[in-house]
Amino acid sequence: MEQTVRAPRDRDEPGRRSREQLRDAVLTAAGELMLEGGLAAATMEAIAARAAVSKRTLYKYWPSRGAVALEGFMRNAASSWSLPDDASATEQLTALVVSAARLFDGTPAGPLMRSLIADAQSQDEIATAIREQWLRPRRAVAADLIRRGVAEGEFRPDIDVEITLDLLFAPVYYRLLLGHEPMDEDFATATVEHAVIGLRR
């Protein structure tokens, strides 16, 4: 009697893991590989192996190695920042800037972000990923805090939100890129304190 031999199911075949679970596994793997060895380490083969998915799945959801690697890193790094509850706008802005300084100064994310910013000058995909996945979400949160500070009377009503965001975060990236001075918590706190002087009534 003839037996039908079926090919083994893919590890990531629908039914085994949900789309959200697959994406989570892939982005976790990509983020870890980026922190371990940078963009060069986050190959499609390495990401697929660590996430226990096929390369076919990676290309189903991401157009390129750079896209999935960068999204994984950005998501991994995003978990490093949080806001204190029941705090003033100034206190929450301070927490945001301190979180960024800690991430860049005390983890492999610092050298990696420095490298990505350099690559972004000549690679549009990386530049777009940094703007859309890293800068834009953080600026949006900080902008809401500034507007809340205005609404609650903590800050002046005539401030320019976009310029204020640059004043708050630019010093962090300046020290990240040039390394001329330490980027510690005291520096981050002082950065916000100096910026807020111009925001108050």
pTM, 2 dp: 0.80
In the three-class reduction of DSSP (H, G, I as helix; E, B as strand; rest coil), residue 133 is classed as helix
End-to-end CA distance of the chain: 89
The tens digit of pLDDT for each residue in 71-119 reads 999 888 877 677 888 899 999 999 999 999 999 997 888 999 999 999 9
**Residue 141 forms beta bridges with which residues?**
none
Model pLDDT, residue 9? 47
Model pLDDT, residue 6? 41
Q: Is the dihedral of CA 35, 41, 47, 49 positive or negative?
A: negative
Whether 177 shows a pLDDT value over 80: the answer reads yes
79 vs 148: which has the higher pLDDT: 148
Closest Cα to residue 67, out of 37, 44, 36, 48? 44
User: What single-letter DSSP state applies at residue 63?
Assistant: S
pLDDT, mean of residues 142-146: 96
Whether 7 shows a pLDDT value over 50: the answer reads no
**What domains, with CATH codes, occur in the chain?**
19-71 (1.10.10.60), 80-197 (1.10.357.10)
In the three-class reduction of DSSP (H, G, I as helix; E, B as strand; rest coil), residue 14 is classed as strand
The tens digit of pLDDT for each residue in 15-34 reads 577 889 999 999 999 999 99
Model pLDDT, residue 11? 52
Is there a contact between 173 and 130 (Cβ–Cβ < 8 Å)? Answer: no
pLDDT category at 1 given cuts 50, 70, 90 is very low
Q: How far apart are CA 27 and CA 41, in angstroms?
A: 14
Treating both helix axes as pointing N-terminal to C-terminal, what angle do 109-120 and 65-78 enclose, rounded to 10 degrees? 140
Model pLDDT, residue 78? 76
Computed over every residue of the chain, the mean pLDDT equals: 88
Closest Cα to residue 58, out of 11, 16, 120? 11
165 vs 15: which has the higher pLDDT: 165
> Of 32-36, 145-149, 170-174, which range is least confident?
32-36
